[in-house]
Structure 1
Amino acid sequence: MSAFGLMPAAYRWFGAVVVLLVLACGSAALAWRIQDWRYGRQLAEQARLHGEALNQLNLAAAMQQQIEQGKRLTLEQQLSTSEQNHFRVLSDVQRDQDRLRDRLATADVRLSVLLDAADAASIRAVPPASGPGGVDPGPVRARLDPAHAQRIIAITDAGDRGLIALQACQAYVRALIR
């Protein structure tokens, strides 16, 4: 006899429903487990690919950072060289200006200006004596007062410094454009 035959008739329907329910739940649980394995493998593969993509992005960002750092170091070196050149030129001009100022102060050198020929004729009361061989005395010059000469040197010094600074700025802009 079968297991259904041993059951009372009133409970056979209940037993059949329980058996069908166990079969349905078992197949659902088995399908659920298989889907879990399959999706778990897919999620693991997706996580691995995502990690590799992030790693490649990190490597690219690090390489880009190294390139930018190299560019920055090169620019710093160029600016340092340019600044050294600018300082050298500026100190040379300042040294020359100081020498000229010292020579003016000790009266080694006197600044003079050319006079207009018409004004020169009115200033000369006595015409120059003609020397042997007809040597022309040259253009007429007027000497400047040492204080005025010092002011002129100070003005040209400021102008020279401005020109040197302008040349340094132009060199910097040219370097940036390149």
Structure 2
Amino acid sequence: MRFLSVLRWIGIGLLMALVWQLQAWRYGAQLEHQAASHLQTLNQQNQAALSQQRAEQEKRLALEQQLNANDHQHTQEMNDAQRNQAALRDRLATADVRLSVLFDAADSASGCTVPATTTAGSLVHAAPRARLDPAHAQRIIRITDDGDSALIALRACQVYVQAVAR
């Protein structure tokens, strides 16, 4: 009898061990499934982040190329303006061209005796002009050159800001 009692206790112990092992296997399978699911989610998030990073890099590269093209264009404009201003300065220096200003024929203080309008039977006069001193003309050309350069630089800055703001 004692032997049967011991066998019963051993049987109950084995049964409990078997149930415990089955539960451990089931729990392990659940953990494995959960880990695989978590790994799949992480991989999907990683792929999404990589594709977003690629898209941002492509946008940055396109913006850099656009800015380089704009910079090249504005540099070319600046060089053209400087070349034109230098040619005008050279022409002023060699007296090929002279800068002049119009007189106001209606202004009595100017001392201009040329009539502002023509009458019947009179000669047609061109508008009275006065030549500028070459040194003053050079200063005027330098001022307009600086203004042209400033406008080109301002336009380049505006294009840059618009491109970056997009």
TM-score normalised according to structure 2 size: 0.84
Amino acid at match of 2:86: D
Q: Distance in 2 between matches of 1:153 and 1:95?
A: 13
Q: Secondary structure at the match of 2:111?
A: helix
Query: Which of the residues 143, 148, 158 maps onto 1:155?
Result: 143
**1:121 to partner: Cα distance:** 5.7
Query: Counterparts of 1:128-143 in structure 2 under 5 Å?
Result: 134-143=122-131
CA spacing shift, 1:174–1:102, aligned 2, 3 Å: same
Q: What is aligned with 1:108?
A: 96
**1:109 to partner: Cα distance:** 1.2
Q: Secondary structure at the match of 2:122?
A: coil
Unaligned ranges ≥5, structure 2: 116-120
Q: What is aligned with 2:111?
A: 122
Q: Secondary structure at the match of 1:113?
A: strand
**1:169 to partner: Cα distance:** 2.4
**Paired residues, what number?**
161
**1:139 to partner: Cα distance:** 1.4
Q: Distance in 2 between matches of 1:167 and 1:136?
A: 44
**1:134 to partner: Cα distance:** 3.3
CA spacing shift, 1:121–1:166, aligned 2, 3 Å: closer
Aligned sequence identity (%): 55
2:100–2:130 contact (8 Å) kept in structure 1 = yes
Query: Which of the residues 72, 75, 84 maps onto 2:72?
Result: 84
CA spacing shift, 1:107–1:120, aligned 2, 3 Å: farther
Q: Secondary structure at the match of 2:79?
A: helix
**1:42 to partner: Cα distance:** 0.7
CA spacing shift, 1:73–1:121, aligned 2, 3 Å: closer
Unaligned ranges ≥5, structure 1: 5-11, 128-132
Is 1:74 paired with 2:90? no
Q: Deviations over 1:119-162 (max 9, x none)?
A: 576255x99xxxxx733221111111111111111110111011
2:99–2:137 contact (8 Å) kept in structure 1 = yes
Q: What is aligned with 2:152?
A: 164
1:120–1:140 contact (8 Å) kept in structure 2 = no
CA spacing shift, 1:79–1:121, aligned 2, 3 Å: closer
* Larger of the two Rg values belongs to structure: 1
**1:82 to partner: Cα distance:** 0.8
TM-score normalised according to structure 1 size: 0.79
What's the Cα RMSD here?
Answer: 2.5
